[in-house]
Structure 1
């Protein structure tokens, strides 16, 4: 008899502050469930801003004000708010040292890590590098070091960084997400049928996972939880 397992596909970007918070809240839910070890997570790319240069000259505040056309005081308040919520999840966001960068190369490297069963470790390392450590995730030498620390082969990593390997996979992830109607991340797909949008609370994730575990089935992607005050997302126009 085949063992029942629950698949969860998570679409996100390493440059999305709510994606790191959502990851932590989701992990808390999984850890609290008696069948948590039977949940299989797979990360998928969803690049929020393909137009961002590899190395943006300025801070995250500058980027959001200039690139997104948001008022400076509004952006400052938003960054303070998200920093506080991140702290509640044990994350130490530092927007003062954060270096805005195009995430496409990092997402390609994440695709390699997924192929080597290091997807979650690489996702964690990239998010932490971007939001907590002030590292330039658009810099290939920085990405090389991160990859080697996670356990990826140095030569294989260098080959990916030197060319365009996994570019098609990253773009395919984005296309798949948009075909499902995803416009903001993080976005969670449970058992290929049930969708949850945003960095929901751990309680919402726990309830949804428990429900799907009991009721696996159906052919249509159903929205199990609409974005709420605890389910913020980032989209191409910015984060809320």
Structure 2
């Protein structure tokens, strides 16, 4: 039995390009023959670690105040991102987005990974953040969403309140730093090849096919 081909995705649930990139990667993966041998793992990355838990204001306010971008430029940028998201089937609602520190969400994703539900939870959290205006800095709300994908709510809440997976989150962040990752999404294929950003599906398909061919060459 061959060793599965791995894809590690550094991502943040507060990153609009990460959700878009997820959709494009999934399309690229779906075009790959025999994609069942590809194991996908989401890794933690904090885009804005200085974000307060309860930011009072809109996404426009946050980017204007914290990033020093003029409000009119922010509005134009978010409008463009919303259109790109729509092109891959996503309905972003930046007016409803609750800016917050994302460590709790990352800890929940590690908990979900340990229980075989990470891919389901990352999808649920991204939808909750960008399309539903949910507050993902609150452990109770994250636990509610985790329960929706089949995890035990009380166990998730316990893990979040005790920060059971805090070290795993920091290990991901440290690995990103070691790789030189400064922005997300960032895809690492087979621990060897990196792809930065929300690339078109065919980029992912070609990269996966190349790694698979190289493996076959080594094996032969």
Taking only aligned residues, the RMSD between alpha carbons, in angstroms, comes to 1.1
Unaligned runs of 5+ in 1: 218-240
SS in 1 for 2:39: strand
Q: How far, CA to CA, are the matches of 2:102 and 2:57 in structure 1?
A: 16
Higher helix share: 2
What pairs up with 1:98-113 in 2 under 5 angstroms?
98-113=97-112
Provide Cα deviations, 1:91-125, integer angstroms capped at 9, x if missing partner: 00000111101100111011100111111001001
Aligned position for 2:171: 172
What pairs up with 1:1-240 in 2 under 5 angstroms?
2-216=1-215
> How much does 1:163 deviate?
2.1
Bigger drift between 147-156 and 8-17 goes to 147-156
SS in 2 for 1:138: coil
Q: How far, CA to CA, are the matches of 1:188 and 1:62 in structure 2?
A: 30
Provide Cα deviations, 1:162-185, integer angstroms capped at 9, x if missing partner: 222111110110000110111110
Query: Normalising by the residue count of structure 2, what TM-score does the alignment of the two structures yield?
Result: 0.95
Provide Cα deviations, 1:37-60, integer angstroms capped at 9, x if missing partner: 111101100111111111110011
Q: How many residues align?
A: 216
Q: How far, CA to CA, are the matches of 1:106 and 1:38 in structure 2?
A: 27
Provide Cα deviations, 1:211-231, integer angstroms capped at 9, x if missing partner: 1111139xxxxxxxxxxxxxx
> How much does 1:207 deviate?
1.1
Work out whether residues 6 and 191 of structure 2, in 8 Å CA contact, stay in contact via their aligned partners in 1. yes
Query: Normalising by the residue count of structure 1, what TM-score does the alignment of the two structures yield?
Result: 0.88
Unaligned runs of 5+ in 2: none
SS in 1 for 2:163: coil
Q: How far, CA to CA, are the matches of 1:95 and 1:27 in structure 2?
A: 23
Work out whether residues 10 and 187 of structure 1, in 8 Å CA contact, stay in contact via their aligned partners in 2. yes
Q: How far, CA to CA, are the matches of 1:121 and 1:160 in structure 2?
A: 18
SS in 2 for 1:172: helix
